[in-house]
Amino acid sequence: MSRFSRKETEIAPEEAPLLINAADLDSRVASSHSASSSTASMTTTTSKKVVGLTGLASMMVLFAVAGFKSGNDGFDVIHKAESSASKSTSKQQRENGRIATTTSGGRANKQSLGEIPLTAQSYDAIRDMVMKDEEKSKSKKRGSTSSSSSSSAYASDPLLTLLSKDGADAKSFPSLVPQFDENDFAFADGSWKHRPAKEHNGKFTMCLAGGKDSWDGTYTGNLNTLYEPGLCIGEVREELSADCDVRLFNQGAFLWTADYKTEHAEGEDPHFLPPKKDHSKQVDFYYAHESADHYGYELKDPKSLKNMQYIAAFHPTKTGLWYPFGPSISALLTDYELWKLPKEARVPAIAWWAKDCAEDRSAILKHIATRFPVMSMGGCEHNMDALNDPGRDGNHMEQDLIKSQFMFYFALENGVQCPNYMTEKLWDSLTRGSIPIYVGWDGIEDYIPSKESVIDLRDFNSVDELAAKLEQYTTDEKLYQKAHEWRTKNPKTWPEGFRNLVRHVSSDLKAGMCNTLRQGLPGKGHAKDQESETCDHNPTVLGEPAQRITNNYRQAAIKSWQEFLSRDCNEDECAWYKLSALAAANR
């Protein structure tokens, strides 16, 4: 059967849904802080609480509407020292990445060099958060005790503090195109590798093959910047036409909606075949988010590669354009309230919410579930319902509100261990404060905030050793804080690769495209891409080959999380859980 014959997984929950009640978050978090001091001496068991996030949900969803929209009133320069003299800039200025800074005399001086411009979403999130931060700080100084601000426990987000000092360029998060100058990217002249048609006056007309709806923007926060003119792109169209200077194809359309495929027999893989170019100067880009050794087979198919002029993928250096998953500046800022939930406010269990039931990672999860509580809310190994499930295409903040209630999150990649392949599962866990349980690319340490922030299954000799360590996180405050320490530090101390990543997914995607149109590439690089795409489906995890775990647990059912967790009060009165002794696994 072809890999494209997809079938829906039947969901048959065997357990009752997790109780998510509607109590106010502030009072729950406050009581959690109080409870933490009284339970510090507990060892094998720790009282935990399933947090009712209705209050936070209302606040965060409302903020998402206000903070994520692209305002028409421009962006105020962030630097606090200049805040009183700064002037709003137009949307076009913001898109071009050149924010006018004002001197003490009120005159605007245009910066000549800086960084690739951030998305409007990132600018707006920073601006709105700075304003909220200043209000909370003022409330704290006044000694306000209003329930809306919780000022007595308020502390500024270190990331926001740094960004407010950085100014509009967010220079602490450097891009891979240093010394950015908008003039170099604005108009294509004779020095460019590729040039638009003469009648387009130095600006490229870009066409989205399949239109906007064919692109999956679920986990790509800056994808919308491809839909807007700016930099070297003068016009964006949602269909191919003869006068397109640039044609954009995306992997999702090819894989899932059968766009631009060759005819093929059942059980055979088709090849990528774009329409014939209308003229030789047209430039094609292929945007891919899947691993070549998993779903994205066309990235190592010679016939398909031959038809791809420039590839945008998750490789930082091996493809023409870096098109990764990762945490954006706006996600880090808006998830901070979730990240701050204390240990006592999180369920001592591993959450999983997946649609793709790759048997190797499912088997590893079922293996872990024999020794530690696992709550799987998606279509794979489903053993618990999530109330108010927004679905994959639903509001991202609503998803994180549910997932943030869990201390750990199962973040294994589809292909287990693939070169350069890092997806949203890992960073979404980190931004909301759930500790990710991970197996992936060896080079991941360059792109995460700290080694201690991730639990790597390759570091454990057995599932029992892992379970003991996870239980230690629930009882050892210092160990738990060590995993979260990165978010309390000055972000300048974060690894440069991680800061590059944050910058890239917070910036205008057209910058990389314009850079490629300007400079071209030394070579297509297809051979290197193909060679580097072999995934290791059988790494040693938990002390044994992953394939052995798959063979042992392929037909097994996932163990009930209720064998490990119990309430320590009446179910009708509260939703507290405690982690039972690990001996429960052997009952």
The predicted-structure confidence for 479-532, as pLDDT tens digits, reads as follows: 999 999 999 999 999 999 999 999 999 999 998 899 889 988 754 444 444 445
Q: Are residues 58 and 149 in the same domain?
A: no
Partner residues linked to 541 by β-bridges: 544
> Among 175-179, 409-413, 563-567, whose mean pLDDT is lowest?
175-179
Does any domain span residue 236? no
Residue 369's pLDDT is what? 97
Tell whether the model's pLDDT for residue 543 goes beyond 70.
yes
State pLDDT tens for residues 412-434. 987 778 887 888 899 999 999 99
Q: Phi then psi for 573, rounded to 5 degrees?
A: -100, -30
Q: Classify residue 560: in a domain, yes or no.
A: yes
- Look at residues 129, 147, 166 and tell me which one is the last residue of a structural domain: 166
- Are 51 and 138 within one domain? no
Asked if residue 363 belongs to a domain, the reply is yes
Separation of alpha carbons 171 and 155, rounded Å? 23
Domain that holds residue 572: 46-63+329-503+537-586
Are residues 82 and 160 both part of a single domain? yes
Say yes or no to pLDDT of 538 above 70.
yes
Same domain, 128 and 91: yes
Cα dist from 288 to 128, 375, 392, 409, 533, whole Å: 33, 31, 19, 26, 13
* Torsion on CA atoms 247, 249, 253, 258, rounded to nearest 10: 80
Same domain for 340 and 384 = yes
222 within some domain: no
Domain membership of residue 137 (yes or no) is yes
CATH of the domain at 453: 3.40.50
Number of domains in the chain: 2
Asked if residue 50 and residue 96 are part of one domain, the reply reads: no
Is 362 inside a domain boundary? Answer: yes
Contact between 321 and 285 (Cβ < 8 Å): yes
Domain boundary among 119, 137, 166: 166
Least confident of 79-88, 205-214, 318-327, 401-410: 79-88
Nearest-angstrom CA–CA distance, 96 and 229: 10
Which pLDDT tens digit goes with each residue over 120-159?
889 888 888 888 888 877 777 766 554 444 444 457 899 9
Which of residues 166, 197, 212 is at a domain's end? Answer: 166
Asked if residue 54 and residue 114 are part of one domain, the reply reads no
User: What average pLDDT does the segment 163-183 reach?
Assistant: 82
CA distances from 501 to 153, 165, 255 (A): 31, 20, 26
pTM: 0.80
Instruction: Please write the tens of the pLDDT for every residue from 445-463.
Output: 889 999 999 999 999 999 9
Report the percentage of the chain scoring pLDDT > 90. Answer: 43
